[in-house]
Chain A
Amino acid sequence: MFDQFDALLLARIQFAFTVSFHFIFPAFSIGLASYLAVLEGLWLKTGKPLYLDLFKYWLKIFAIAFAMGVVSGIVMSYQFGTNWSVFSDVAGPVIGPLMAYEVLTAFFLEAGFLGVMLFGMERVGRKLHFAATLMVAVGTFISAFWILSVNSWMHTPTGYEIGANGQYLPGDSWLAIIFNPSFPYRLVHTVLAAYITTAFVVGGVGAWHLLKDRTNAHARKMFSMAMWMAALVVPVQIFAGDLHGLNTLEHQPQKVMAMEGHYESHPDGAPLYIFGIPNDEEQRLDYAIGIPKVSSLILKHDLDAPLAGLDTIPDDEQPPVAVVFWSFRVMVGLGFAMLGVGLWSLLARWRGRLYDWPWLHKAALVMAPSGFVAVIAGWITTEVGRQPYVIYNLMRTADAASPLDAPAVGASLLAFVIVYFAVFGAGVWYILHLMHKPPHPGEYGVKRGDKGPIRTAGITPGPTQDPTDESRRNLSRDKREPETLS
């Protein structure tokens, strides 16, 4: 039947599959929660109904994305134990508490206030509702903080001791564990990526509706806001990514060697390879096209600086180069394409053509999913780049898996693949359907039931209730196209 290697490979595929699928949702909801908070804040500040309409438009989409993030996230919190039990036992004392803090400080905060955020606008005051939205947005950030600390510790472990029973134990200072060397860079790079991902989705939806009706005020507003994000945040992200790369060079040099395709060492200036076919067998980059010395310039800020290559690393400690090399290029390529859209939008704004330049809108539409691809490519780069280790230089992935047989892991992998594609495919379809509808005045919030939202007996509408909501609901019930798919 299957040998041990197959069970390991299947477990790795399962983790890669479930975590990649999962991360798509938080990559969107981290940014979207903040965007919703901004929209609601602007509505409270200016009183313009346009912002409330946009808030409600995106709230419906957020509700679906968040639900998918929650259920796929619960799977992750058990994947460690089901498929990587040796890792869990050994690393639990160090990373377990950080994950417990994530639950205590982030998950409860998000979940506790989500109900009020989604359904409570007519039950609590406007300010209290805004506070709930802020709590959800802050919760998504705190969640990113802890889980990225855990992930970073696995890349750059510090502050631990090795116990007599083989476990990694916390040392004197938890700060040394939490703020391990790669964490600040990874946190900034990932959170900015989430914001940019959301900005391009919002921009793409705005562009889609501008292509159909360039006078739509709601589409104009969301497109403009998204393009400001693209123009201002993408350059910051490229800078942050560069710093993250330098940090990786310091702590995980073979990952950078794989990203750069540097099989051989370059004592006097290394080239920046634009293209090439990594050949692990022969340990060389076939058909390489590169710019001499530029890699040294980027990584060492000196054209002639020496850079070591994978020839200095034993074969059994090298990551698979091709995956890292290509995923890195996909991420960087998309990053510069995003920068291009951002700059284009500045030009359009300057020429007063932001809302009537169809080619810009088409470009933004094409780029709408680019954030997701870039984010996944970035994670593949960093995660495959630290192989063969699960805890860098300490524990090999091959030594971390659960004592399971291949058919068990294979069957569960198959179940995850089928269920995720069916369930999350449907969810993405529903989101696309909501996005397809133009945002308009009198936008509905998250609706419950065919006959209106939830009501409660014994509670009279308080003075805080938004009277416009009531009239809008009646209006929309009578005149608008049905909310639902039918």
Chain B
Amino acid sequence: MTIAYDLTTIWAFIIAFAVFAYVVMDGFDLGIGILFPTFEVGPERDRAMNSIAPVWDGNETWLVLGGGGLFAAFPLAYAVILPATYPLIIAMLLGLVFRGVAFEYRWRDPAHRRYWDAAFTGGSFVAAMAQGMTLGALLQGIEVTGRAYSGSWFDWLTPYTLLTGLGTVAGYALLGATWLVWKLDGESQHHARNLGKRAAWATLVLMGGVSLYNIFLNAEYAARWLTEPEIYYAAPVPVLTALVAVALLRALSVERHSKPFWLSLALFFFGMAGLGVTMWPFIVPPDLTIWDAAAPERSQIFMLVGVAITMPLIIAYTAWAYWVFRGKVGHEGYH
């Protein structure tokens, strides 16, 4: 496994960063949506919602960067993946529509609040499931002829993609629960920790399932993990993942602040690193490498300048926005 540090590789890492940022940031928003029915109607739901209301829009913007960045840096991949996973993408977009408007509508219309709460949950679940299944559809391989998708309608629907979809739902639920452990207190926090434990186990089991499936699914994937010398590069990923998992389960039993959330982020990070090892250097397995799909150098350089200038600023003011709304989310009379 050699990595040439050319512009295309840099862009692959930028897109991976955008996807990671999206997954963990909107992941906890969507996770709260998925867990929403388990919260008591009234202050508990309101506080859960309020803990993400100021930041969800910024979090979702990373999805636009992931999609827009893919379009700009790897237009061929964008042009192949989206038609191949067409129903999933449409379902995800519509799910995000319901989820996004529910933030505003539920406050505007208490008479129908439970319907908008249901839209919030349904939209979050559908979006998470569709994202996970899209990832699975990509990993299991997309049929390409010439410069276009040439598979059939339902190639994306297999037991494997259902597994990756459920894994994503569980993972987002974990992020959402641990975020709430951080942002809530009292009885609600206790509830969030219990949810976190269950979601952590579900996530770990499904992650393990997907990993094993990958190895049996594709001989090339297996080779990346199990042959020398690749195994030396790849081995730290599962080892570190296991260590993080143990730390997370322990933290969920005792911690009352941010630690479980950060450990969940670490779990996602190693999960994504594992996917990176599995896929590299393909962006659309089994045919298109990142170099096959890359935009020309002039496009890459032009955008790289933009990323270099704006990304530190984006991270700075996003961090500031989080800092403004730091601390436990209270309710009236609570200080």
Contacts and interface: CB of A to CB of B under 8 A. Distances in A.
Contacts of A93: 75, 295-296, 298-299
Nearest to B63: A74
Contacts of A465: none
Contacts of B153: 405, 408
Nearest to A123: B324
Contacts of A96: 68, 71-73, 75, 78, 295, 299
B321 A116 contact: yes
A99 B70 CA distance: 11
A403 B75 contact: no
Given A88-B79, A96-B72, A451-B331, A120 B54 contact: yes
A402 interface: yes
A100 B68 contact: yes
Interface stretch (B88-96, B165-173, B222-230): B88-96
A80 B71 CA distance: 9
A115 B54 contact: yes
Contacts of A415: 90, 94
A104 B65 contact: yes
A88 to B, nearest CB: 4
Interface stretch (A32-40, A64-72, A204-212, A220-228): A64-72
Interface in A53-97: 63-64, 67-68, 70-75, 77-78, 80-82, 85-86, 88-89, 91-94, 96-97
A88 B61 contact: no
A1 interface: no
B109 A430 contact: yes
Contact of A108 (B61, B69, B185): B61
A448 B43 CA distance: 11
Interface in B283-335: 295-296, 298-299, 302-303, 306-307, 310-311, 314, 317-318, 321, 324-335
A251 B145 CA distance: 37
Nearest to A448: B50
A100 B303 contact: yes
A457 B327 contact: yes
B31 to A, nearest CB: 19
A485 B79 contact: no
A42 interface: no
Contact of A85 (B101, B149, B307): B149
Nearest to A458: B327
A93 B110 CA distance: 47
Contact of B332 (A94, A115, A451): A451
Contact of A104 (B58, B307, B318): B307
Interface string B63-86: 111011101110110111111001
Interface in A449-470: 449-452, 454-459
B124 to A, nearest CB: 13
Contacts of A447: 107
A246 B111 CA distance: 53
Interface string A93-134: 110110111111101111111111011100110000000000
Contacts of B330: 454-457
A459 B329 CA distance: 11
A77 B329 CA distance: 33
B14 to A, nearest CB: 10
B147 interface: yes
A163 B325 contact: no
B23 to A, nearest CB: 16
A165 B147 CA distance: 10
Contact of B303 (A101, A427, A430, A434): A101
A48 B332 CA distance: 29
Q: What range describes how many residues of A lie at the interface? A: 35 or more
Nearest to B90: A412
B103 interface: yes
B98 interface: yes
B331 A455 contact: yes
Contact of A123 (B101, B109, B325): B325
Contact of A452 (B96, B150, B332): B332
B148 interface: yes
A408 B107 contact: no
B281 interface: no
A103 B68 contact: yes
A426 interface: yes
A170 interface: yes
Contacts of A85: 78-80, 82-83, 148-149
A74 B96 contact: yes
Contacts of B104: 63-64, 67, 427, 430
A169 interface: yes
Contacts of A185: none
B255 interface: no
A484 B108 contact: yes
Contacts of A448: 46, 49-50, 53, 107
B96 A71 contact: yes
A70 B60 CA distance: 9
B105 A427 contact: yes
Interface of B: 43, 46-47, 49-50, 53-55, 57-58, 60-61, 63-65, 67-69, 71-73, 75-76, 78-83, 86-87, 89-90, 93-94, 96-98, 100-101, 103-105, 107-111, 147-150, 153, 185, 295-296, 298-299, 302-303, 306-307, 310-311, 314, 317-318, 321, 324-335
24 contacts: A74-B63, A81-B83, A86-B79, A88-B71, A88-B75, A96-B75, A96-B295, A100-B68, A103-B65, A103-B68, A110-B57, A112-B58, A115-B58, A412-B87, A423-B97, A427-B105, A448-B53, A449-B50, A455-B330, A456-B328, A457-B185, A457-B328, A457-B334, A486-B110
Given A100-B72, A115-B325, A426-B101, 8 more contacts: A81-B71, A81-B81, A99-B72, A408-B87, A408-B153, A416-B90, A419-B98, A456-B328
Interface of A: 63-64, 67-68, 70-75, 77-78, 80-82, 85-86, 88-89, 91-94, 96-97, 99-105, 107-116, 118-120, 123-124, 163, 165, 167, 169-170, 174, 402-405, 408, 412, 415-416, 419-420, 423, 426-427, 430, 433-434, 447-452, 454-459, 484-486
